[in-house]
Amino acid sequence: MSIPSHRRPASRKRRKALAAGLASVAVLAGAGLLGVGQPWANAAANVSFDTGTGLAFTINGTNGNMTSLKHNGTEMTASGFAAGQFESGFSTATVTSKTFNNGSSILVSVASASTGVTQYYFARKNDNTVYMATNISKALNPGEARFIARLKPSLLTTSPVAAKTGGFGTTVEGSDVFADTAGRTASKFYSSQRLVAQKPFGASGTGHGAFILPAYTDMTSGGPFFRDIEVNDTGSAVNITHYMYSGHQQTEALRLGLHGPYALALTNGEAPTARSMDFLSAFIPGMLSNAQRGGVSGTASGTWNGLTATVALAGANGQYWGQVKAGKFVIGHIKPGTYTATLYAGELAVGSTKTITVTAGATTALTMTGSVPAAGTLFQLGTFDGTPAGFLNADKIETMHPSDSRMSAWKSSSYSVSGGAAKFPMAEFKSVNSPAALGFTLASVPANGVKLRIATTSSFAGGRPAVAIGGFTSPASASPAPANLNSRNVTRGTWRGINTTYTFTIPASALKTGTNTLSISVVSGSSGETFLSPNFIFDALALDPA
């Protein structure tokens, strides 16, 4: 790429002087593009940068992979892998670089015409962080969007135990859930945090640490309670992944546009703290500054039974949220656009949604109301909160496969309401524990019968509940087919999906004073083996007079 005559260095001597002052920068295409906002240069060779305080990296000039990542002179890259790349990397890409402030910072652009993805890498002196953003201009095939760093396990020995799959010799499910000789399971899926509470994540060892700072997840999908793979030690590499989109029990479509910024930070082992990355709007094309964004503030009210309330926004331009405190909430840093606002109690959407428009530089007022469903008056198991919390095995399911030897037995000959939710399984599987017999006592039979509500958080392969009691069998219309998310759910360690409540009206003739036994079954037009059979996950069960 030629350099405009008015931007060329004045002499060969000056070029040499500038190059000497940037010994940390290996071949930057268009050598001499050193100054404030120098133009893009095609990468005729690999592009390298050294922060001068411990981090140095190299971007391949042909395909844009980060081929080297060093910390204090030690190569962090796992043998046979790229130190970092979008998805599994591009076969070819247009790699360009641009320097700023006399070479003290650099922006590398990696554009893949075939996928419509441009990956940006930004670094600066005295900051051991590679800042990134990913622009996605069209649908992806396969339908995933992630940045993944693959680093040496010998250096990063401390990572989430439940996601350490190296040495687990038995494949339990697919090619991503494994077991050891004791029947304990591990999977890359068992390392994740809800977006609403996500903190920097990664792995560390003696003298080294590598962590993703997720920063701005406004273009990801799935809402505040979605979570996905973060850290997985396979034995060959410690994979540290920032997911922007996946089909892992996803309830929303891919958002097109600029995702991020996010960052990969190297430390001496300590976890870094979250930080603002607004300064990158001066460097990354298409990134809006805080001044170009807007905000929402307002009040929220309702009966939430002590649950944390959250107001969330979702639209084509992004997703945002804020927790309700003392009846008030504030959501900032929002891209201008139109959004659907939802109030959550726990993880359960309550009340009606609202449409709101956000404009740059302004704060829009919003009032939300909604209450959790009324408690069952004849009996209730669990809490209407959008999660299976309190049910059997719910405390383990995020970090273990249902087949794990540490799980409590999924099937019993019978259950009793008097035993509480802690004795009743959080999920019902067609080929494992269906039907489930639940006993309950009535002091008297309501004249008009009873109404049973079964609230669910997710389903797999069309699984949904049907009931039978005293000669009564629920009609098919009471168990409509759920939305198909085309993904495993509970075996991947998640209960998030589309919350659905099924209501069954049971006639008085099917009931009796004293002990009754309710049979709950999984119905589906599909089949499957054990924990990959059709299933659904319980949120709560409640019984009232009809």
Supply the pLDDT for residue 31.
31
- d(CA 125, CA 23) in angstroms, rounded, equals 12
Backbone φ, ψ for residue 14 (5° rounding): -70, -40
Supply the pLDDT for residue 14.
40
* Contact (CB, 8 A) for 421 and 393: no
DSSP-assigned letter for residue 103:
T
Kindly list the distances between the CA atom of residue 418 and the CA atoms of 42, 387, 421, 424, in Å, as whole numbers in the listed order.
71, 21, 9, 11
Query: Residue 199, SS3?
Result: coil
Sole residue written with tokens 């049971």: 506
DSSP-assigned letter for residue 425:
B
What is the residue-level pLDDT of the chain in tens, covering all 546 positions?
A: 333 333 333 343 343 333 333 333 333 333 333 334 566 666 558 999 999 999 999 999 999 999 999 999 999 999 999 999 999 999 999 999 999 999 999 999 999 999 999 999 999 999 999 999 999 999 998 889 999 999 999 999 999 999 999 999 999 999 999 999 999 999 999 999 999 999 999 999 999 999 999 999 999 999 999 999 999 999 999 999 999 999 999 999 999 999 999 999 999 999 999 999 999 999 999 999 999 999 999 999 999 999 999 999 999 999 999 999 999 999 999 999 999 999 999 999 999 999 999 999 999 999 999 999 999 999 999 999 999 999 999 999 999 999 999 999 999 999 999 999 999 999 999 999 999 999 999 999 999 999 999 999 999 999 999 999 999 999 999 999 999 999 999 999 999 999 999 999 999 999 999 999 999 999 999 999 999 999 999 999 999 999
Residues 6 or more apart in contact with residue 90 via CB below 8 angstroms: 63, 64, 65, 110, 112, 114, 115, 117
* Contact (CB, 8 A) for 366 and 294: no
Residues 6 or more apart in contact with residue 222 via CB below 8 angstroms: 195, 250, 251, 252, 496
- d(CA 55, CA 71) in angstroms, rounded, equals 5
Query: What is the per-residue DSSP string for 78-96?
Result: PTTS-SBEETT--SS-EEE
- d(CA 469, CA 124) in angstroms, rounded, equals 68
Residue from 257, 368, 389 nearest 322 by CA: 368
- d(CA 536, CA 455) in angstroms, rounded, equals 10
Residue 304: alpha-carbon gap to chain centroid: 25
